[in-house]
Amino acid sequence: MTMFEGLSVAVGLAPVGLMLMAALLGRFDGLPTPGLWKGVLLLSGVALVMAVVSAGMGAVPLLPGLKATSLGLVLAVLVQLLGTVIAAFSARYLQGEPGQRRYVSALAMVLAMVHLLLLADHWGVLIAAWAGVGAALRPLLCFYPDRAFARLADHKKQFADRAADGLLILAAALAWAEVGSGSLTALADHVAHTGLTAGLQGSAVALVLAVVLRTALLPVHGWLIQVMEAPTPVSALLHAGVVNLGGFVLIRLAPLLEQSMVARVLLLALGLATAVLAGMVMLTRISIKVRLAWSTVAQMGFMLVECALGLYTLAALHLIGHSLYKAHAFLGASGVVRHTRLQSLHVAAAPHALSLGLAPVLAVAAVLGVQWLAGLSAWPWWWSVLLGLAWSPLLWVPAGPGCGPGLWPVLSGMSMVTALTLAALGVHALPLGVPQAPAPDALGLAALLGMAVLYTGLTLMQVRPAWLAGAWRWSYAGFYVDEAYTRLALRCGPARWAPPSRYASDAPPVATLRTDAL
């Protein structure tokens, strides 16, 4: 190993090591709480610098089973940036709360396991790191263990995670038997040269099902809604980082996924159903945080649709944009509440009917126009139409005293759609090492039809709510999808959680949530 290679390994692994040090720092009883937060923030800042330096060095192999990819390095910087901001926010947010040492240790361990997952180049490392993320997250989700819904959310998540672990092990076993190695790079080379056998087809299907369970798609989405009982910075960490890992895993294993039509159709069906149903539910919610949670469920569905359609560059852009947006939205949730209240005093809440009808036409025209002017055809035509539908709400104008929507709000919305299209084209041109394998037109048209149904439903629920009175009630109830999964999870055992005995002195009493408690 040359000196440069050794330096690359040390810098690439530095964020993992520094976050493990921060996790151990939380277990040191002799350090006062203010000093603990200062030490964690210092280590987190150094880890952020190391992540930036590693990204500048580029994609290189590190150790057996670990490899720094271009996308993984970019996401490592994003993860550590968000982790540092969330840690600084938590230091103020949790002042006076018991259990801060347990919180610090768990937060740092989550970041360490996420960094390890981003470097995984072996099935064993991938499975262990993803399981480690879930295990480290438990003390954060149950930071207030006396809250019943927090324990219920943790129980449902653990039930889904264990099923996902089994499916990932199955996917790894099938792929390993075919390739003769657990290396993800070797798997990509094998698929490129020999195609997919029946074993690899089964591996791709098992991988898709595992990602669906870990990414909170319907019908196992309920824990992501009920985890609002956790502190706000935990919600920011969860929605901005942890649930997005499924998209990264699919992009990392794109060579396996893109040649399995069965897996892609399954992923498209589950992702599209989640995006449509969660998008409808989100419109009926009043609580800002719960609406943001349902928005995450819908966005995860949409991201997996992008992966199913083979548009991995757009999925990577969606992952980055969603992480930044949700971190800002949750950490600024109190400001959103105040802004919403002030806005309701001045304008009507419902959009203007004319803007609802014109929005998709103008948005699609903007996307196609930008592509034509740029001379780029980065994705199929049906995806341009689908993006226009997805971004149409940016052109919704609140109803006012006039006879039609004002010109300025429409121009403002058009500028945002144009900027998003340029960003998508720009990211597509970056050397992120992300493959691009657009699906057949039949799958694209199915996704387009699903988004058209969603937009039509959202429009009718606002301009003709009487027509969809029954659908509104079902939508407010989440279409009752979560109830069956909740009963199944509770039949397998009551929801129990207790903090580690080391932290028992600073944690509230622990109770058990029984099946008959709901």
Residues 214 and 183 in one domain: yes
Residues 94 and 201 in one domain: no
Percent helix, strand and coil across the chain, each rounded to 5? 75, 0, 20
Residues 94 and 155 in one domain: no
What token pair was written down for 61? 């192999």
Separation in Å, CA 503 to CA 108, 169, 500, 509: 16, 33, 6, 12
Phi and psi angles of residue 183, each rounded to the nearest 5 degrees, phi first = -70, 135
217 contacts 304 by C-beta, under 8 angstroms: yes
Domain residue limits at 81: 1-119
**What pLDDT, on the 0 to 100 scale, is given for residue 263?**
94
Q: Nearest-5° angle of CA 287, CA 291, CA 297?
A: 150
pTM: 0.87
129-143, 174-188, 369-383, 394-408, range with the lowest pLDDT:
394-408
73 contacts 115 by C-beta, under 8 angstroms: no
What token pair was written down for 416? 């945002």
322 contacts 268 by C-beta, under 8 angstroms: no
Q: What residue type is assigned to position 27 of the chain?
A: R
**What pLDDT, on the 0 to 100 scale, is given for residue 506?**
47
- The separation between CA 196 and the C-alpha centre of its own chain, rounded to angstroms, equals 28
Beta bridge partners of 301: none
What token pair was written down for 331? 């950490």
What token pair was written down for 66? 């670990």
71 in a structural domain: yes
186-200, 221-235, 240-254, 502-516, range with the lowest pLDDT:
502-516
296 in a structural domain: yes
Residues 393 and 480 in one domain: yes
Residues 318 and 361 in one domain: no
Q: What residue type is assigned to position 95 of the chain?
A: Q
**What pLDDT, on the 0 to 100 scale, is given for residue 508?**
45
507 contacts 99 by C-beta, under 8 angstroms: yes
126 in a structural domain: no
Q: What is the pLDDT of residues 278-335, one digit of tens each?
A: 888 887 877 777 888 888 999 999 999 999 998 888 889 889 989 998 888 888 877 7
Alpha-carbon distance 165 to 13, whole Å? 25
280 contacts 301 by C-beta, under 8 angstroms: no
Q: What is the pLDDT of residues 62-111, one digit of tens each?
A: 788 899 898 999 999 999 999 999 999 999 999 888 889 999 999 999 99
**What pLDDT, on the 0 to 100 scale, is given for residue 66?**
92
Task: Compute the average pLDDT of residues 371-399.
Answer: 78
- The separation between CA 507 and the C-alpha centre of its own chain, rounded to angstroms, equals 29
340 in a structural domain: no
Of the candidates 167, 62, 65, which has an alpha carbon nearest to the alpha carbon of residue 123? 65
Q: Which residue has the higher pLDDT, 241 or 401?
A: 241
Q: Which residue has the higher pLDDT, 328 or 472?
A: 328
Alpha helices in 26-99 (DSSP H): 33-57, 70-93
Residues 268 and 316 in one domain: yes
Q: Which pLDDT band, with edges at 50, 70 and 90, does 509 fall under?
A: very low
pLDDT averaged over every residue in the chain: 83
Residues 99 and 200 in one domain: no
Residues 159 and 234 in one domain: yes
503 in a structural domain: no
Residues 115 and 210 in one domain: no
127 contacts 161 by C-beta, under 8 angstroms: no
260 contacts 207 by C-beta, under 8 angstroms: no
Residues 150 and 229 in one domain: yes
Among 334, 362, 377, residue at a domain's last position: 334
What token pair was written down for 330? 């949750």
340 contacts 391 by C-beta, under 8 angstroms: no
513 in a structural domain: no
Domain count, the chain: 3
Residues 301 and 359 in one domain: no
Q: Tell me, what DSSP letter sits at residue 438? A: P
Question: Does residue 513 register a pLDDT over 60?
Answer: no
Q: What is the pLDDT of residues 392-431, one digit of tens each?
A: 887 776 665 554 555 666 788 888 888 888 888 887 777 7
Beta bridge partners of 68: 60
CB-side exposure of 11: number of CA atoms within 13 Å?
Answer: 23
Residues 307 and 211 in one domain: yes
278 contacts 221 by C-beta, under 8 angstroms: yes
Q: Let me know if 19 is exposed, middle or buried by CB neighbors in 10 A (0-12, 13-18, 19+).
A: buried
What token pair was written down for 122? 């072996």
Q: What is the pLDDT of residues 211-238, one digit of tens each?
A: 999 998 988 888 888 877 788 899 889 8
Q: Give the CATH number for residue 109.
A: 1.20.120
Q: Nearest-5° angle of CA 293, CA 298, CA 304?
A: 125
25 in a structural domain: yes
Q: What residue type is assigned to position 304 of the chain?
A: L
